[in-house]
A and B are shown apart, each in its own frame.
Chain A
Amino acid sequence: MLSVNAIRKTFNPATPNEVRALQGVSLSLATGSFVVVIGTNGSGKSTLLNALAGTFLVDEGSIVLDGTDVTRWPEHRRAALVGRVFQNPFSGTAPNMTIAENLVLAARRGQPRGLGWALKRTARQEMRDRVSRLRLGLEDRLDNSIGSLSGGQRQALTLLMASWRRPTLLLLDEHTAALDPRSADHVIHLSEEIVSRDKLTTLMVTHSMQQASNLGDRLIMMHRGAILHDFTGAEKRRLRPPDLLARFESVRRAELLDESVAEMLRRAYV
């Protein structure tokens, strides 16, 4: 379904700001699996999602999605297969356009866009039905501009838009991190609902250990641009937030050790 083979990405290579964001990540996703990705800051989890979405092209390695090698495809072309929800609630919707217009844009994700009328009357009922499933009362406000909505409402709509046409791969990039706790909760419930109803293959990055332990059937922990742990099946189900925190703690300790060793060597030899 999705197969990522040893991808690497270095930002600002050969400069003082060089960042080796992905250092040979390989990953294989089965159809319909819901994978949660966690990791420390700068571990490369968002970079991994962006690499899959095509925000940038990887330096090495390949990405095969649904049997098609999409490694060299630009972002807008991959959009035919990939649905995305961003961390920033303002990123996924066009603020000066109406809810209905935004949905129509999403309904043609990856399709050619010609001179046919965008807003057909017949499509409105379906819009109302699907928007009402967000349980936000937005179905009566389809002609309001997106700019008048809250972050939570916009994020719920972005989720609906990303999944309007069934995506081959759904990418959720810390999509509740910028929301207040109640909205975050609601959006997570909606995500779970949509993913399980449409059986979407999903990759979700999160900072919340609670979400990481409750959601998904597989959990990947990243560190320094590589996959550190990969939990599946019963092992994933047993994981609780304290276990995850303990794993982070051990990573941190190893890190400290690295640094102290480096320091020791520096003192000894420099």
Chain B
Amino acid sequence: MTLLIGALTIGLILSLLALGVFISFRVFEFPDITADGSITLGAAVAAILLLHHVHPVIATIVACAAGAIAGMVTGLIHTRFGINKLLSGILVMTALYSTNLHIMGRSNVPLLDQRTLASLAEGVGARITGGTGDLFILDWSVALRDAAVLMTSFIAAALVGLGLYGFFRTNLGTAMQAAGDNPQMIRALGVNVENMIVLGLALSNALVALSGALLAQYQGFADVQMGIGMVVWGLASIIIGEALVGVRQLGFIITGAIMGSVLFRLLVAIALRAGLDPNDLKLVTAVFVFCALILPAFLKRLTGARQPAPR
């Protein structure tokens, strides 16, 4: 049960990462590798602020803002200096590695006795249930802290998902979507596409950093290595989500990305439990994303051979 709840919680926390990756990869078709660095940045900033007894909510918000700045830098490098998208992200990601070490002062910052969003949630949970003992849900014993953190991450994912959906229904949000969909068209309608890319990457990396800040507070530490492979992880979540919902409509895609992230984490937890070497995890994830990317074209070729091409 603890395993299941842990997987759900991490899945929900990482769904914020998936939503960030959705903005860069899907809205802008911008393979933004900055996320590998900005998720650690979010964790590092939050951890250090918590060590200095800053309120967890404020620490999380500042971590978010740091991620937004990282995304803006990537966007500016690409739009103002004409540097290739992938390279812009790689540059910022590389620079962030040193930045994160500077922020943390060492490669790992434990958060053992600090007040975090997790401990705040536990406190709220204790007030609601009137005790600090374990909860019993369907005859399962659940530690109060685990339940409270799961609720918090669920609320966070739901709020961010709704917020993002709402944002893409505003004038600014639709213009941002169009900037990714057809830059020539939206430029002719008076939108500065370059600014939209910078804004979109800022938003994307703010969500990624938020995910990192929550992850650090849940795990109880920030580690300079924690971001490695996270972009691929987010991409895997989005692909699973798209397969789950099957509809290319904004609300469904956002819900799908959250569901995909949770499902992917569950699958990973099961695989690890069944004996998958944790060292192989990134390899398996990469192979999975590769297969998912080539599968549609492969299927099309299979079915295309059997029936005449659809008009």
Interface residues of A (CB under 8 A from B): 53, 74-77, 79-80, 82, 84, 86, 90-97, 101-102, 104-106, 108-111, 113-119, 145, 161-162
Contacts and interface: CB of A to CB of B under 8 A. Distances in A.
Q: Return the 9 tightest CB-CB contacts between A and B, nearest first.
A: A79-B190, A110-B190, A94-B181, A113-B171, A94-B178, A118-B174, A94-B182, A109-B189, A115-B170
A97 B171 contact: no
B247 to A, nearest CB: 11
Contact of A161 (B167, B189, B192): B189
B16 to A, nearest CB: 21
A150 to B, nearest CB: 11
Contacts of B187: 75-76, 79
B254 to A, nearest CB: 15
Given A76-B193, A94-B178, A116 B185 contact: no
A118 B189 contact: no
A109 B190 contact: yes
A114 B192 CA distance: 14
B169 interface: yes
Contacts of A93: 182, 185
Given A75-B187, A80-B190, A84-B188, A96 B248 contact: yes
Given A76-B187, A76-B190, A104-B174, 9 more contacts: A79-B190, A86-B188, A94-B177, A97-B178, A104-B171, A111-B190, A113-B175, A115-B171, A117-B170
A82 B182 CA distance: 18
B172 interface: yes
A25 to B, nearest CB: 21
19 contacts: A74-B192, A79-B187, A86-B184, A91-B182, A92-B185, A92-B188, A94-B178, A94-B182, A96-B248, A97-B178, A101-B178, A104-B171, A105-B186, A105-B189, A106-B189, A111-B190, A113-B172, A113-B191, A115-B167
B110 interface: no
A80 B248 CA distance: 32
Interface in B158-181: 167, 169-175, 177-178, 181
Nearest to A119: B169
B253 to A, nearest CB: 11
Contacts of A110: 189-190
A195 B213 CA distance: 56
B232 to A, nearest CB: 24
B186 to A, nearest CB: 7
Contacts of A113: 171-172, 175, 191
B248 A108 contact: no
A97 B175 CA distance: 11
B174 A105 contact: yes
B177 A97 contact: yes
Interface string B47-79: 000000000000000000000000000000000
B183 to A, nearest CB: 10
Contacts of B174: 97, 101, 104-105, 118
A205 to B, nearest CB: 16
A102 B178 CA distance: 8
B177 A77 contact: no
B38 to A, nearest CB: 24
B275 to A, nearest CB: 42
A30 B137 CA distance: 78
Contacts of A145: 248
Nearest to A96: B181
B285 to A, nearest CB: 27
